[in-house]
Structure 1
Amino acid sequence: MKDKQPLTNGPSSTSPDTASARGEIDAFLQRARTMAPPRQGARGRLMFALDATMSRQPTWDRAIAIQSEMFAEAAAVGGLDIQLVYFRGFGECRASKWVSDGGRLGAMMTRIDCRGGLTQIGKVLSRAVEETRRTPIQALVYVGDSMEEDVDRLCARAGELGLLKVPVFVFQERRDPVASRAFKEIARLSGGAHLTFDDSAGAELARLLKAVAVYAAGGRKALEDRSRAGDGGARLLLEKLS
Structure 2
Amino acid sequence: MKKLPKSKSSVGEFLEAAKRFPVPRDSQTRLIFAMDATQSREPTWDLATSLHAELFTTARQEDLAVQLVYYRGHFDFFATHWNDSAGGLLQTMQRVQCLAGITQISRVLSHTIKEAQQSSLKALAFVGDACEEEPKKLYDLAGQLALYRLPAFMFQEGHNPYVAQVFGGIAQLTNGAHIPFQPGSAQQFAELLRAVAAYATGGVDAVKNLRGKFTQQLLEQLQS
Q: Tell me the TM-score normalized by structure 2.
A: 0.80
Native 8 Å contact 1:66 1:206 kept in 2? no
CA-to-aligned-CA distance 1:33-71 (integer Å, 9 cap, x gap): xxxxxx962321100011111232xxx23x134312442
Aligned ranges 1:86-235 → 2 under 5 Å: 86-199=70-183, 201-224=185-208, 226-227=209-210, 231-232=211-212, 234-235=215-216
Native 8 Å contact 1:70 1:210 kept in 2? no
Q: Which residue number corresponds to residue 17 of structure 2?
A: none
Q: Larger helix proportion, structure 1 or 2?
A: 1
- Cα pair distance change 1:40/1:191, threshold 3 Å: farther
Native 8 Å contact 2:26 2:119 kept in 1? no
- Cα pair distance change 1:92/1:220, threshold 3 Å: same
How far has the Cα of 1:93 moved from its partner? Answer: 0.2
Give the SS at the match of 1:138. Answer: strand
Q: Which residue number corresponds to residue 28 of structure 2?
A: 43
Q: How many residues align?
A: 196
Q: Which of residues 31, 34, 45 in structure 2 aligns to 1:64? A: 45
Cα distance in 2 for partners of 1:136, 1:160 equals 16
Q: Which residue number corresponds to residue 55 of structure 1?
A: 40
Counterpart residue identity of residue 67, structure 1: A
Counterpart residue identity of residue 177, structure 1: P
Q: Which residue number corresponds to residue 3 of structure 1?
A: none
Counterpart residue identity of residue 203, structure 2: G
Cα distance in 2 for partners of 1:214, 1:115 equals 31
Cα distance in 1 for partners of 2:184, 2:98 equals 22
How far has the Cα of 1:214 moved from its partner? Answer: 1.0
Native 8 Å contact 1:193 1:240 kept in 2? yes
Give the SS at the match of 2:103. Answer: coil
Would you identify which runs of 4 or more consecutive aligned residues in structure 1 move more than 3 Å? 233-236
Give the SS at the match of 1:119. Answer: coil
Larger-Rg structure: 2
Native 8 Å contact 2:29 2:200 kept in 1? yes
Counterpart residue identity of residue 35, structure 2: L
Larger deviation: 188-197 or 82-91? 188-197
Counterpart residue identity of residue 178, structure 1: Y
How far has the Cα of 1:136 moved from its partner? Answer: 3.0
Gaps of 5+ in 2: 1-23
Cα distance in 2 for partners of 1:89, 1:100 equals 28
CA-to-aligned-CA distance 1:151-197 (integer Å, 9 cap, x gap): 10100111111221111111112222221111110111111111113
Counterpart residue identity of residue 51, structure 1: D
Q: Which residue number corresponds to residue 36 of structure 1?
A: none
Native 8 Å contact 2:139 2:173 kept in 1? yes
